Each structure stands twice: as structure tokens, then as C-alpha cells.
Structure 1
Amino acid sequence: MMQQMPRLLVVILNYRTAEMTLRAAEAALADMPTTNAELVIVDNDSGDGSAALLAQAITERGWGVGDRVRLISAPDNGGFGAGNNVAIRAGMSDGAPPDFVHVVNSDAFLDPGCIAGLLVHLQEHPRAGLAGSHVRGEDDLPHTTAFRFPTAAGELEGAARFGPLTRLLSSSVVAPPLPERPAQVDWVAGASVMMRWDMLTEIGLFDEEYFLYYEETDLCLRAARAGWDCWYVPQARCVHVGSVSTGMKEWRRMPRYWFDSRRRYFTKNHGRAYAALAVLARLLGGGLHHLRCLLTGRRPEDAPGFYRDLAAHALTARRSAATTKKPPSCPATEDRS
């Protein structure tokens, strides 16, 4: 008896990058299965005419036929997690849930076979809740997208950038060398990640208290604590331009929401005392790095004012009830068995 094709929902979140979103959608559509697969584009309250442009393109290109592609306008810009949750909650066009959800950045372009590679891997590993792609830049250089969970020791190592310390704390390095074969990792970047619906039903969707950054780390940690595996699948490849919506490449200072997300991750998952320890570890590592740079005449590799901003953010942090909020749950759905 032939096995039924799993139901796949591909999600692309747009924020003021309509033309690039259409490129990402075109690449995704070319790689999607011809049946039981749909693409939802969410305009995250861009306010720049993106929604109208996307709607027109979907109509003119015939993408909307048979609900192959749908456009949903988010009521406000709640960030990366909240925007993707809009599409995940909507589910398939018939109102039923998918079997798998593939989140793709608006500046990520899937290679042929990327979706099939992730889909097959998840089907072959029943306890795999997430599978992330090999991601490379337009210069063909690989991006680091497979990580260990952040820890205080990892904060110290990453900030210090000192070989002997790295060797001593090798098991805490957050960004180890990329595996050459499929491998279990702690978490994967959200540029191209496929997730199992059963896992999302159990642990909830993206935590919407994160505006941007750390939301996929948090999701993977919740998955791991619930017994789900996260995999890096290097054969499933895509190109990622990177930081187009956020303008990160032009940042002179780290925005406050990055510090907010970092603090929430450590506080929510490890407690306030550990979050404070992580700040101290980062400051200590940064101090060691700057001292070595001063002695050797090198330029520090950190963003201008980073440690001053980190310390100020930690000192001015206020108690917030948000640290105890539960992640959004999946929508109630009828039994499809």
C-alpha cells in the first residue's frame, strides 16, 4: 500500500522585503512537492505597501490557484516568532494541521532537493522534532547554523576568543565546526528549519515574548527537554543573504531587543541568578579579549559599546511577569485519523 504524502506547510515571513520575499517564495515553490504542500506568506505589518505588492504578484503569477500560496497580513509586528506563529496557527487551507512546518527566511533561497532532504530525514527519525539546513552565503561560504545551547561557560569562551580557554571549555563552545554528515545538535538557526507538527502540539509554538533572536534557541531547548531531537542536515542546502529585514549588517550598536531576548532566554530557562552569572561571564571574557588586544595592538572584535550596553541593560533590568509566560500553544484541531 502506497504511503500517503505528508502534509507540508512552508512559511515565509515578510517585513519590508517584498521583492526578496517573492524570490524566496519562487525558490520554495520550485522545490515543494506538487501535492499536499502549501506556502503561506505572512506580511508582518510592514506598513510600506508590501502586502499589496505581494497580493498582486501572487495573483499575476497564478500562485493562488488551489490555495497553493496564501497571503496573511499580521495585525501588528510582534517579531519573528509571532509572525511565523500566525501562519502555523492558520494551518493548511482546509483548516486542518500539516504534518510538518518548514520555516524559511525571506532572504533564504532553497536549493533543489532541500525540502525533500529535510522531509525524508524527519520521516526516517520519528523522534526528530526539528531539522535544519546547510546554509551558505551568496559568496558560497558556509554560515554557522548548528549550535550548542548557550551557557555561562560558553559566554566566557565566546567572548574571550582565547585558544587555551577554548580547548579547556571545548564542550561549551556554542558554535563548533559544522558536521559534514547529518548530526544531532542542540539547536539550528531559523533561516531554513523544518518542524514536526506533533512536536509543536506538545511543546507549543515560538515564544512571542522574544521579538527577535533566541526564539529558535528557546524552541529547540523546549523540544529537547520534552525528548525531541534536533538535527542538522547538510545535504539539504540553501543560500541565505542574511540580515536584510533587520539591517544588522549596518548596525553600529546592538539593539535593545537583542539584549532583551538574551536576558529572557537565560532568565526563563535557567533563572535570574544564572542569567546574572552569564552576564558576568560575558563581561569577564570580553575583558580578557580587550586586554589581549591592547597588549598585541589588535582591534577588538566586538561591536562598539557592546559591553557597556550589556552591563547597563543588566543593571536596569526590571522584573517582568513575561518571564513566566507559557509559549503559545498550537491551535485546537480535529482528529484527522
Structure 2
Amino acid sequence: MPATPERTEPVPVGGAAPGGPAGARILVSILNWNGLADTLACLACLDPVACRGQGVACVVLDNGSTQDEASALRAAHPAVEVLRGETNLGFAGGQNQLLRLGLERGFDSVLVLNNDAQIGLADILRLQACLDDDPGLAGVAPCMYSDAAFSHSVVFDAWIDWRDLSSVRPAQPGRTMPANALPLLLGTAPLLRCEALRRVGLFDERYFAYFEDNDLSARLAAAGLRVRYCEDARFVHRHRLLPALSAGALYLFARNAWMFWREHTPAAWRRGLRRRLLGRELLQLAELMSHGAGPERVQAFVDGCWDGWRGRSGAPPARPRSPAWWRGLARLAPYRLGKWLS
């Protein structure tokens, strides 16, 4: 596994004692970064007090928020262990801090939960039951819905299609994954077996955010470990399509795609990989522009594509900048160029 940035310990700011209640098996791991309202709603749905009674401990890392949101979280949920980090380590780096806690404290599994997602205790226990019933499973994820009434499903399964360089995410049950595809465990709410993490390692911090779940899924598969989705477990998440992402997210999405597909695409599908990747990203740029994305967001995606081509990784630069000739070429006719290259 690639080297990761130097570890920086988060600072406890109160709340539940480290390690959770005696006999806790599951650690719920949540990052907060300038998202206090979302994190409070996430914790309210979890009901940390009820969780403790069922062997589930909750920990939140405030991942370098600009304000002191850790104190507000502690005050609202004293049953939750709250840590404070001074620097934004990204999703990968921040979650790795909490995954290490799970490994060091002897938990059986860790639920990596987005702070803008909501899941109840009963669904967490259903996920753990899946792991208990199948020792060969490294991880399991709930089905994703976009509303609290669970009337609109978003993701029932997921896999990586090497031929199309895409992530396939069926919104309804019944679609069969192709034999040559790779099972994909999305990073929004997976329950990961700690023993599997000891074997393959944690999230690759070079990604910072976006595609780190693709990378972990690929490493689990390479180690002969299986993952799946549990149709009996559900959660709610505001799933955002590409045109809805922020400029910072678009930069990372475009950049990190290059690293993932370069490192993990099997030999049978590598022919013309750089050309196909460039074509795919130009088509995505055309989609952004057709949805009225402003200059800042278009520029961020173009810069991310350039930095991905050049092999850059880690925390995003404060002001990414691609050459003027590339910015002009990418914006000229991205759909036609993308179709031609693809």
C-alpha cells in the first residue's frame, strides 16, 4: 500500500470515555467538517445512548472546522466521544484516524458513516448480522434512499465496470453484476470488518476525498475478500450527481479518477487507457457545462483533469492552475472531443 502522510493525533474534547461501553463490538465513525447541522441530525437518528446499550459506540472527529463545532457536538450528545483535529485531513485521512481507534481498541467492525447520512440502530445491527453470518465477508453496506420515508431508492448495489471505466449503481434490486466486474462498497455507510482492514490497510490518503472507496474495494478484492449490499438494511443520504458537486469536490473527482483507473485497471482493459480516461472526463465536462455549471466549477474540473494526467495527489492545492492552452482546448468542444477519444 502506498505511503500515507504523517499521522497527526486528534485531541479529545469531552463526551463519552474512550473505547465506549464494555463489550462494544461496533464503532460508528463520523467526520464533521463545517457541517454541524448535518452531524447533529446524523447523531439524532443514531440515538447514541440506545447504541451504547446494544454494543455500538459512536465517535466523531471534527476534521479542522473553521469554528469550534466540536464543543457543540459534545454538549448535544454527551454519550458520543468527540475528537478535534486542527487540520482538515480529507475524508481518507480523517476516517483513518478513527479506523485506527477501532483497530487499537479491539472493535469487531467499524461503520464509516457520512455526516450527511442517517441510519438507525436497527439497520446497523442488521449489517453486523450479515458479517456474523458470513465470516468471508470483509464489508457490507445498506441500501441507499434519498428520503426518510424510504420511498425512493438510490443505490441497491454497486460495482466497477472496467470496460467503460465507470461505477455502476443500480437503484433497484435484481440487476446482476457482470462476471468481470469488481464489487464496489460505497464509502457513505459501509460496515467494515476490522480483521479485513488489518490485512489490506486503511484508506489511501493520497486520494484525500473521492475514489478512496473504489481503491479500498479493489484492494479487498485483490486479497480475495468479498463485500456485498444488505437489502434488509437501509439508510438515507442526499446523493449528489456530478453537476451538483462543489468546485473543490469536482477538482478531486476529476483528479482522483486518473489515479484509481491507472493503478487498478486489469491488463485486459488497459489498452488506450489514457485516451479513454481523457475522453470520459471530457464527456463529464460537457455534462457539467450543459447543466449550467459556472466558470469556477468548470475550471475546477478542468484543473483536476490536468493534475490527474500529471499524477498529482494528496491535499488539493489552494489555487490549482492548469495551462491556458489546456483550459481553452477542454472548453472548446468537450462533447465532440470526448466522443472522439472514447
Shared fold per TM-score greater than 0.5: yes
Q: Given the superposition, is the C-alpha separation of residues 181 and 25 from structure 1 closer, same or farther in structure 2, using an over 3 Å criterion?
A: farther
Secondary structure of residue in 1 paired with 2:191: strand
Residue segments in structure 1 that go unaligned for 5+ positions in a row: 64-68, 159-172, 294-298, 323-337
For 2:195, the aligned partner's letter is D
Q: Following superposition of structure 1 onto structure 2, how do residues 112-123 of structure 1 map, counting pairs within 5 Å?
A: 113-123=122-132
Deviation at 1:242, TM superposition (A): 4.0
| Equivalent residue number for residue 154 of structure 1 | 164
CA distance in 1, matches of 2:281, 2:202: 34
Q: CA deviation at 1:42?
A: 0.9
CA RMSD of superposed structures (Å): 4.0
Alignment check: 8 A CA contact 2:62 2:69 kept: yes
Q: Which residue of 1 aligns with 2:229?
A: 232
Of the candidates 98, 102, 105, which is equivalent to residue 96 of structure 1? Answer: 105
Do 1:32 and 1:115's aligned partners in 2 also have CA atoms closer than 8 Å?
no
Q: Distance in 1 between matches of 2:84 and 2:284?
A: 45
Say if 1:253 and 1:275 are closer, same or farther in 2 by CA, change over 3 A.
Answer: farther
* 99 and 181 in structure 1: CA distance in 2 versus 1, 3 angstrom threshold: farther
Aligned to 2:115: 106
- For residues 275 and 309 of structure 1, the distance between their equivalents in structure 2, rounded to whole angstroms, comes to 24
- SS of 1:106 mapped into structure 2: coil
Aligned to 1:11: 29
Identity of aligned residues (%): 24
Give, in whole Å, the separation in 2 of the partners of 1:236 and 1:53: 30
Q: Which whole-Å CA distance do the structure 2 matches of 1:254 and 1:82 have between them?
A: 16
Matched, 1:124 2:133: yes
Q: 1:229 to 1:195 in 2, by over 3 A?
A: same
Point out which structure has higher relative CO (alpha carbons under 8 A, 6+ apart). Answer: 1
In structure 1, what is the Cα distance between the partners aligned to 2:97 and 2:169?
30
Q: Deviations over 1:122-178 (max 9, x none)?
A: 111111001011111127422236322252x213xx6xxxxxxxxxxxxxx733454
Q: How many angstroms apart in 1 are the aligned matches of 2:260 and 2:41?
A: 32
Q: How many angstroms apart in 1 are the aligned matches of 2:87 and 2:126?
A: 34
Q: Distance in 2 between matches of 1:181 and 1:120?
A: 24
More deviation, 226-235/138-147: 138-147
TM superposition score normalised by structure 2: 0.69
Distance 2:285 2:258 in 1: 23
Corresponding residue number in structure 2 for 1:168: none
C-alpha distance in structure 1 between counterparts of 2:293 and 2:271, whole Å: 21
**Number of residue pairs aligned between Structure 1 and Structure 2:** 283
Compared with structure 1, are the counterparts of its residues 238 and 320 closer, same or farther at alpha carbon in structure 2 (3 Å cutoff)?
closer
Q: Which runs of 5+ in 2 are unaligned?
A: 1-21, 316-342
Counterpart residue number, 1:174? 168
User: How high is the TM-score relative to the length of structure 1?
Assistant: 0.70
Q: 1:14-93 alignment to 2 at 5 Å?
A: 14-29=32-47, 32=51, 34-59=53-78, 63=79, 69-91=80-102
Alignment correspondent of 1:335: none
